Amino acid sequence: MRFRVEVTGGAVGAAALAMLFTVTIPVDSAAADKSNPGSEPARISAATWTPTATLNNGPIRECYAAGCAEVWRPGPGETLRWSHYAYNSSGNRWYYVQYVVGNGTPHTFYGWIYCGNVTASC
């Protein structure tokens, strides 16, 4: 199974891409590879987190495939932020997001959400 990542400004080699992000972009099935960005929130750093909102209660998942485990399920109209996106082997666009929930002591969840579940473009 192969994945491709959309990079603005032209094609960038794997080594150059690794220098741009401090997170790991999964190449093979992230369900089998727990080194994907959703599994280690302490390593996450992004140049920009762009706000978007949920359209429905679609889940945030551990990887960018419908069969991956759910991390959290935000309700409709919730605000979350995305840093980058990837396409899975079916050609579906998924956004890597952070979602903060909680009063007093907030909890931050990281994972992937299908583009059809958020206001960001598909």
Residue 63 CA to residue 88 CA, distance in Å, equals 9
User: 63-97 b/e with 16+ CB inside 10 Å = b?
Assistant: bbbeebeebbebeeebebbbbbbbbbeeeebbbbb
Amino acid at 44: I
Question: What pLDDT is attached to residue 58?
Answer: 95
Q: What percent of the chain has pLDDT over 90?
A: 56
Q: Answer yes or no: are the C-beta atoms of 113 and 60 closer than 8 Å.
A: yes
3-52 confidence digits (pLDDT tens): 444 444 434 333 333 333 333 233 333 333 333 444 444 445 667 999 99
pLDDT surpassing 80 at residue 109: yes
| pLDDT for residue 121 | 93
pLDDT of residue 104: 79
Residue 90 pLDDT > 50 = yes
Mean pLDDT in residue range 94-119: 94
Q: Report the percent of the chain where pLDDT is more than 70.
A: 62
Q: What is the pLDDT of residue 44?
A: 55
